[in-house]
């Protein structure tokens, strides 16, 4: 961290030496804005636009025959993009499929892997996960005829920012005879903390418990090694760091050792592909991860991911991670070195300093975070706000610059110096 310096010219120099700088022009940047919200909705790439337009053209020119078009058949699109996405999670090609949506995939996988039996009836999760995941877990417990209040164990945070791996491990050890399943996020949506998935997987398996991860905030931001770690299952959305568009088709991973399991939400798209159109009433699940698909894929909401995956293959996730860490380190360095974490500024950094524990964004906390977010937006800087006091800033390796990061910190300083934020109410908008 101390290798940085605070000047504007040094920021520009960092951009000149950035090996990923050329990818910025592959994206549609918002004119006159500094976009720091790629962890909520990634920007459209020209590659993503191209793959979407190709699919639209197939529809225009082929109609129904698009499903079995020679070059790019939609019939195999979920499997094809799954194979392209597999390197981002360290999986075999037949272990990843692009399908459905995040919360639906969570239901499909938890339904499969949560098999309460005897005293083992509990799901272990945590209090800082994204609410949708918790709603889904409670409903999965109810579907099995059990009560969420007794069977959903939520690990508490010590500081409202992080969940210590140590605390997860002691919860596993304490409840080992009663826990049937563990579901955790890979990166926390508020603080950006990364969990040590390898260590937690090993610990879960030591007690014979299946473990899955929601990678919505980690996919496209950090590398994963699911196969090597032996993770049982995972799921993620593709509209955050993956840049595949609002509500784009999501992804899921099932470890090969579980291909013998049956999907809990069967549908004809999970049928053996060679026999799917025999239209038999007896379900025969596809042999790989494809068996967890449910419905006809939303081809138009899937297509931008193809272009995006080409960019990731070209840039390399290791390089993306390296630059991302450098950007977030630089952001935190500027905040501290410019005195913004002291009076009268009083910003707080709510993200781990240790690069191993830090995902792709920085949580900057402030008592007036909601009104400061509004001033940032008025100034053309797009962060997002998470209650009660977090301004999330995500400098994205593929399209943000060090100079933009420098400008954002300058703005955070000026907003306090000029008292601008005091003109705005400290409450959030409907979509923050």
Ligand X SMILES: *Cc1c(COP(=O)(O)O)cnc(C)c1O
Nearest to 239 by CA among 143, 329, 308: 308
Q: Does 302 bind ligand X (CB under 6 A)?
A: no
Strands laid side by side in the 210-214 sheet:
96-98, 251-254, 233-236, 210-214, 179-185, 122-126, 152-155
Q: How far is the CB of 104 from ligand X (least distance, A)?
A: 7
- Is there binding between residue 233 and ligand X (CB under 6 A)? no
Q: Report how far residue 428's alpha carbon sits from residue 290's, in angstroms, rounded to the nearest whole number.
A: 40
Shortest CB 20 distance to ligand X, Å:
24
Q: Which stretch binds ligand X (CB under 6 A): 21-29, 107-115, 129-137, 274-282?
A: 129-137
- 193 makes contact with ligand X (CB under 6 A): no
Closest distance of CB 129 from ligand X, Å: 6
Binding mask 139-178 for ligand X (x = CB under 6 A): ----------------------------------------
132 binds ligand X (CB under 6 A): yes
Stretch that binds ligand X, among 74-82, 150-158, 169-177, 209-217 (CB under 6 A): 209-217
Site string for ligand X, 14-53 (x = CB under 6 A): ----------------------------------------
Q: Is 126 in the site for ligand X (CB under 6 A)?
A: no
Residue 214 sits in the site that holds ligand X (CB under 6 A): yes
Binds ligand X by CB under 6 A, chosen from 37, 126, 133, 404: 133
The only residue of 216, 263, 324, 328 in contact with ligand X, by rule CB under 6 A: 216
Q: Does 189 bind ligand X (CB under 6 A)?
A: yes
Nearest CB to ligand X, comparing residues 102 and 351:
102
Is 324 an interacting residue with respect to ligand X (CB under 6 A)? Answer: no
Helices 299-315 + 46-62 axis angle, to 10: 140
CB of 383 to ligand X, least distance (A): 16
Q: Rule CB under 6 A: say whether 238 interacts with ligand X.
A: no
In the complex with ligand X, the residue whose CB is nearer, 85 or 285, is 85
Q: Is 185 in the site for ligand X (CB under 6 A)?
A: yes
CA distance 341 to 288: 50
Place of tokens 């959903």: 152
Candidate list 122, 161, 217, 366; residue touching ligand X; CB under 6 A: 217
Among residue numbers 68 through 107, which ones bind ligand X (CB under 6 A)?
101-103
130 in contact with ligand X (CB under 6 A) = yes
For residue 393, the minimal CB distance to ligand X (Å) is 17
Q: Measured from the CB of residue 182, what is the shortest distance to ligand X in angstroms? A: 15
The residues near 176 (Cβ < 8 Å, ≥ 6 apart) are: 207, 209
* Residue 309, CA atoms < 13 Å, CB-side half-sphere: 20
Total of residues contacting ligand X (CB under 6 A): 12
Residues that bind ligand X (CB under 6 A): 101-103, 130, 132-133, 185, 189, 214, 216-217, 237
């Amino acid at each position: 961290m101390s290798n940085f310096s605070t000047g504007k010219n040094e920021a520009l120099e960092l951009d000149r030496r950035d090996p990923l700088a050329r990818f910025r022009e592959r994206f549609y940047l918002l004119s006159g804005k500094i976009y720091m919200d790629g962890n909520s909705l990634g920007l459209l790439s020209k590659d993503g636009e191209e793959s979407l337009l190709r699919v639209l053209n197939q529809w225009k020119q082929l109609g129904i025959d698009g499903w079995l078009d020679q070059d790019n058949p939609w019939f195999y699109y979920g499997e094809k993009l799954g194979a392209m996405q597999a390197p981002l999670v360290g999986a075999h090609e037949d272990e990843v499929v692009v399908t459905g949506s995040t919360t639906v995939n969570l239901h499909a996988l938890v339904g499969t892997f949560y098999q309460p039996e005897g005293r083992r009836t509990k799901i272990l999760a945590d209090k800082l996960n994204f609410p949708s995941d918790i709603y889904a877990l409670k409903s999965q417990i109810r579907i099995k005829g059990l009560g969420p209040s007794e069977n959903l164990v939520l690990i508490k945070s010590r500081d409202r920012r992080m969940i210590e791996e140590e605390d997860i491990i002691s919860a596993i050890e304490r409840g080992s005879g009663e826990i049937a399943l563990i579901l955790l996020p890979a990166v926390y949506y508020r603080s950006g903390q990364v969990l040590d998935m390898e260590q937690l997987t090993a610990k879960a398996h030591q007690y014979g418990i299946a473990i899955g991860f929601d990678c919505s905030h980690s996919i496209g931001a950090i590398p994963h090694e699911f196969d090597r770690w032996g993770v049982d299952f995972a799921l993620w959305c593709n509209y955050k760091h993956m840049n595949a568009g609002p509500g784009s088709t999501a992804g899921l991973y099932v470890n090969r050792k579980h291909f013998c399991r049956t999907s809990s939400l069967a549908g004809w798209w999970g049928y053996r592909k060679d026999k799917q159109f025999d239209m038999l009433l007896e379900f025969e699940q596809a042999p790989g991860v494809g068996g967890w698909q449910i419905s006809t894929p939303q081809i138009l909401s899937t297509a931008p991911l193809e272009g995006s995956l080409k960019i990731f293959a070209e840039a390399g996730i290791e390089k993306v991670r390296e630059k991302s860490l450098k950007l977030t380190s630089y952001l935190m360095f500027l905040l501290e070195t410019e005195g913004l974490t002291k009076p009268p500024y009083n910003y707080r950094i709510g993200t781990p300093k240790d690069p191993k524990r830090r995902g792709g964004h920085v949580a900057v906390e402030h008592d007036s975070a909601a009104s400061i977010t509004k001033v940032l937006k008025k100034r053309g800087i797009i962060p997002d706000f998470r209650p009660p006091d977090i301004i999330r800033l995500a400098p994205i390796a593929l399209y943000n610059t060090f100079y933009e990061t420098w400008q954002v910190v300058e703005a955070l300083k000026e907003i306090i110096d000029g008292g601008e934020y005091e003109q705005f109410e400290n409450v959030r908008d409907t979509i923050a």
